[in-house]
Amino acid sequence: MTDNKTLKKGRLGTPALVFMIIAASAPLTVLAGGAPTTFAVSGLLGLPVGYLVLGAALIIFAVGYCAMSSRVHNAGAFYAYISEGLGPRHGIAAALLALVVYNMLQVGLYGLFGFSLSAALATWTGLSVPWWVAGAAGWIIVALMGVSNVDLSARVLGVLVSLEFLVVLVVMGFALLNSSEGISADSVLPEQFLTPGVGVLLAFSIAAFMGFESGAIYSEESKDPSRTVPRATYIAVSIIALFYALSTWALTMGVGPSSVVDESREYGPDLVFVWLADFSPLLSDVVHLLFVTSILAALVAFHNAAARYFFALGRSGVLPRRLGTPGQNGAPVAGSVTQSAIGVIVVVIFALAGRGSELGELFPVITLFTWFSTAAAFGLVFLLAVTSCAVLVWFRRDHHGFSTFTRVIAPFVSAVSMLIVAILILVNFDIMIGEESPRAMVFIMPGIIIGAGVIGALWSLRFPNETVDMDALPHLPETRSEPRETTTAAP
């Protein structure tokens, strides 16, 4: 049982939280889907370096973020931190933006999942299943898991992520043992990264890390959150960056540095499966199956994140309070059901819109998945920049015993770097959504993100600062390494 304010406490330890974070980043989806797309669009081999650079930038972001998370525990992490740092109204605007971002990330994945499962069934059984029917199967699984205890999601995601890592390690070993041009450092040379096309490369690469910040979302459900959340975040980001860099380098060696860009442009997300099939059709089928389950794991992870944002906003009175009442099992049931309802509505709209489309079977990938995920990437990076600013302001009021690097330098560097990446995404948005997409989408999709922030700011005017339920932003008793001369400003 749980009280009427908080989610079920103490369910997640560090390993479970690491799996939840990594599941959202979907390692196999990035290798099989993201890497070939980035190679094809950027024309550069320096993707492994891109992952390491972005990983380092996100570690710097995590310094201030995790320090603040050790004091502020809330299921709506961005909402809580920006409210504490910049004020409740800014927090409300950011929270509604974050809610849109997480829902777009989650719902957009139904397009990729439906297409991938449909293609896999056609390959294995000869059955022709519409993408939206395959997507509906995933929706049912996600909806059921969303209203269950979070430890069920953690166990399922733990198994799926473990299998993803295992199969990617096998693919890496296979690639290095069968390297078509020998082992080389071609993909990590400076000239393959420090070129004019690096903006496109970084804009695409950041999508591989989406979900890394979600550790703080589960802080209320974690064991000893002041330690568990920071530890899990650092571990997850480090693993993601290193694993993506190594696996992408190995894929480059397997396909061949001189041909990986051209073959990525020819085969797209099927590159890994086509390449493996030449050596082992069985291994290709296994990887294809786990590619589908990898997308399913990401669907569950982002569904959980969106449901907890609904919960946090309902609990604080920004959205209907019914959303902020946990179920008997301690899960954010109302938020989960709401997110599932949004998913089915959007999928139905795109299923109807895609009938007879000249894009054929690729319709859900080029539209639902690409449009939504690219716009959400812009929104998420912008939120990271704003959160870094909030961390700076929060620590100016009270150092909480942390060093100057943690309080000032890291958040400032993070804010600047995240803003640069957000600008890169906007500048290259037309390239990222592809020439098959209508020109209007270049303005409509980022407009949805910007519009969500504007609407959130206007919505916040309904709530005088003193009426926002800041009890929804619980604090941990202060722990200090040195005496303080100032007191924390009242939220």
CATH number of the domain where residue 268 is located: 1.20.1740.10
Lowest mean pLDDT among 41-45, 72-76, 450-454, 468-472: 468-472
Beta bridge partners of 72: 475
Average the pLDDT over 97-113 and give the result. Answer: 92
Q: By the 8 A CB rule, do 12 and 228 touch? A: yes
Mean pLDDT of 195-208: 80
For 93-119, what is the mean pLDDT?
A: 91
pLDDT on residue 474: 35
What pLDDT is attached to residue 360?
Answer: 85
What pLDDT was estimated at residue 214? 67
pLDDT at 368 over 50: yes
Average pLDDT over residues 91-104: 89
- Mean per-residue pLDDT, 98-117: 92
| Of 97-111, 184-198, 229-243, 436-450, the least confident | 184-198
Q: Which residue has the higher pLDDT, 305 or 211?
A: 305
Q: Give the model's pLDDT for residue 2.
A: 45
Q: Where are the alpha helices (DSSP H) in 256-317?
A: 260-267, 271-277, 281-315
Any domain includes 484:
no
Does residue 48 contact residue 246 with C-beta atoms inside 8 Å? yes
- Distance, CA of 363 to CA of 343 (rounded, Å): 17
pLDDT band at 248 (very low <50, low <70, confident <90, very high): very high
* pLDDT at 485 exceeding the cut of 50: no
Res. 411 pLDDT band, cuts 50 70 90: very high
Identity of the amino acid at 148: S
pLDDT at 468 over 70: no
Question: Residue 196: inside a domain, yes or no?
Answer: yes
Which pLDDT score is estimated for 76?
A: 54
Angle between helices 225-255 and 260-267 (to 10 degrees): 100
Can you tell me the distance from the alpha carbon of 254 to that of 174, in angstroms, rounded to the nearest whole number?
8
Residue 479 lies in a domain: no
Question: Binning pLDDT at 50, 70 and 90, where does residue 482 land?
Answer: very low
CB 257 within 8 A of CB 184: yes
Identify the band that residue 216 occupies on the pLDDT scale cut at 50, 70 and 90.
low
pLDDT band for position 73 (cuts 50, 70, 90): low
| Residue at 307: amino acid letter | A
pLDDT, tens only, 292-325? 988 888 898 889 888 988 988 888 888 898 888 8
Q: For residue 97, tell me if it sits in a domain.
A: yes
Q: Is the pLDDT of residue 488 over 50?
A: no
Q: Is the pLDDT of residue 409 over 90?
A: yes
Cβ burial 26-58 (10 Å sphere, 16+ → b, else e): bbbbbbbbbbbbbbbbbbbbbbbbbbbbbbebb
Residue 128: exposed, middle, or buried by beta-carbon count in 10 A (0-12, 13-18, 19+)? exposed
AA identity, residue 94: A
47-56, 100-109, 268-277, 369-378: least confident range: 268-277
Q: 3-state class of 414 per DSSP?
A: helix
Number of domains in the chain: 1
Q: What is the pLDDT of residues 127-157, one digit of tens each?
A: 889 999 999 999 999 999 888 866 677 777 7
| pTM attached to this predicted model | 0.82
Query: At which residue do the structure tokens 């297409």 appear?
Result: 115
pLDDT at 304: 87
For residue 16, the number of C-alpha atoms closer than 13 Å in the C-beta half-sphere is 17
Q: Could you please report the per-residue DSSP string of 70-139?
A: TTB--SSHHHHHHHHHH-HHHHHHHHHHHHHHHHHHHHHHHHHHHHHHHHHHHHHH-----HHHHHHHHH
Residue 484: pLDDT band (50, 70, 90) is very low
Residue 489: what pLDDT? 32
Range of the structural domain that residue 56 is part of: 14-469
Q: Is residue 478 part of a domain?
A: no
Q: How far apart are CA 185 and CA 305, in angstroms?
A: 38
Structure confidence at residue 340 as a pLDDT band (50, 70, 90): very high
Q: In this structure, is residue 401 part of a structural domain?
A: yes
- Maximum average pLDDT range among 73-77, 195-199, 355-359: 355-359
For residue 491, tell me if it sits in a domain. Answer: no
Residue at 41 is within a domain: yes
> 104-118, 178-192, 333-347: lowest mean pLDDT where?
178-192
Tell me how far apart the terminal alpha carbons of the chain are, to the nearest angstrom: 29
User: What pLDDT does 130 receive?
Assistant: 94
- In DSSP terms, 206 is beta-bridged to none
Query: What's the pLDDT band for 476 if we cut at 50, 70, 90?
Result: very low
pLDDT at 185: 86
